[in-house]
């Protein structure tokens, strides 16, 4: 049994009313249409940002591959020209050496063809990825702007609620200051376990917490106990206080 005067019980109920109001305001704030629009667009933006980063990486890798292929083609080409220069210089007369040079030049041409085929494929992929990156970038810019706009709209819509929340919070602070720690501990424990309603009024014979009626004996016990201590509803075990 937790001792509590009728005045303290009334204060607990007033605290409950403030907390209920705070909960409603918080719920309204979280479910503002502006908030929902913002959440949806922020989610899409996160997805687009991730795709955008992935495609830019892909583009960077392809760009690097393209450069490597171009450099290798230039190397192979230079080598072929050098070998051709040697062949036509007239300095090499050995048929065996000339044959080796012809073979080398032909190998360079083959290698160059292979590299050029691969390069073409890389460039085709790049064209596709460049298109993707461009459209993702456009979408990213568009969504970032939208999210900024919606954030402002949400903040504007939340202004009144926030002002009311601040006012209720001040009321709550005043209410808790007027109550002793033991009563607050009981209250907060119940608040967490009873879906935000720790204290209910008894109206007639009905507990406003669970809407069940007290029996005649329970009613008698309630009247007796509530004069000096916290009474509990026999059904829902919330703190039950007399209606004002
Ligand atoms: Zn009840």
CA of 156 to the centre of ligand 1 (A): 40
- Tell me, what's the pLDDT at 1? 87
Contact at 8 Å (CB) between 32 and 154? Answer: yes
Q: Could you tell me the distance, in angstroms and rounded to a whole number, from the CA of residue 243 to the centre of ligand 1?
A: 14
CA of 31 to the centre of ligand 1 (A): 29
pLDDT of residue 224 exceeding 90: yes
> Rounded to a whole number, what is the largest CA-CA distance in the chain?
127
User: Distance, CA 180 to ligand 1 centroid (Å)?
Assistant: 24
Query: What pLDDT does 195 receive?
Result: 92
Q: Using one digit for the tens of pLDDT, what is the confidence trace for 160-200?
A: 999 999 999 999 999 999 999 999 999 999 999 999 999 99
How many A from CA of 165 to the centre of ligand 1? 28
- Residue whose pair of structure tokens reads 């065996």 in the numeric block: 96
Task: Note whether 209 and 197 are within 8 A (CB).
Answer: yes
How far apart CA 89 and CA 174 sit, in angstroms, is 103
- 100-104 contacts at long range (C-beta below 8 A, 24 or more positions apart): none
Q: CA-CA distance, 196 to 191, in Å (whole number)?
A: 5
pLDDT at 97 over 90: yes
Closest by CA to 12, choosing from 212, 185, 195, is 185
Q: What separation in Å is there between the alpha carbon of 64 and the centre of ligand 1?
A: 72
Distance CA 196, CA 25 (A): 13
pLDDT tier at 114, thresholds 50, 70, 90: very high
pLDDT digits (tens, 9 = 90+) for 25-49: 999 999 999 999 999 999 999 999 9
Tell me the C-alpha distance between 131 and 144, whole Å.
20
How large is the average pLDDT for residues 111-117? Answer: 97
pLDDT at 115 (0 to 100): 97
**206 CA to centre of ligand 1 in angstroms:** 8
Q: Which residue has the tokens 């083609």?
A: 73
Tokens at 48, concatenated: 């687009």
pLDDT at res. 244 = 83
- pTM of the full predicted structure? 0.62
């Amino acid at each position: 049994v937790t001792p509590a005067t009728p005045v303290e019980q009334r204060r607990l109920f007033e605290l409950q009313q403030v907390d209920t109001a705070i909960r409603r305001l918080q719920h309204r704030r979280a479910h503002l249409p502006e908030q929902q629009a913002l959440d949806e667009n922020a989610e899409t933006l996160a997805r687009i940002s991730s795709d955008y980063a992935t495609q830019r990486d892909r583009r960077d890798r392809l760009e690097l591959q393209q450069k490597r292929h171009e450099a290798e083609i230039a190397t192979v080409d230079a080598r072929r020209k050098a070998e051709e220069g040697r062949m036509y210089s007239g300095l090499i007369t050995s048929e065996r050496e000339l044959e080796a040079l012809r073979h080398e030049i032909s190998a360079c041409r083959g290698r160059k063809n292979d590299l050029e085929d691969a390069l073409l494929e890389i460039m085709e992929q790049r064209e596709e990825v460049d298109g993707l990156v461009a459209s993702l970038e456009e979408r990213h810019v568009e969504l970032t702007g939208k999210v900024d706009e919606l954030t402002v709209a949400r903040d504007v819509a939340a202004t009144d609620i926030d002002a009311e929340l601040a006012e209720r919070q001040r009321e709550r602070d005043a209410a808790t200051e007027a109550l002793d720690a033991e009563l607050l501990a009981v209250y907060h424990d119940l608040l967490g376990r009873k879906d935000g309603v720790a204290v209910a009024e008894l109206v007639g014979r009905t507990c406003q917490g669970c809407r069940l009626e007290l029996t005649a004996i329970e009613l008698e016990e309630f009247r007796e106990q509530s004069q000096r201590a916290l009474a509990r509803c026999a059904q829902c075990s919330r703190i039950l206080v007399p209606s004002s």
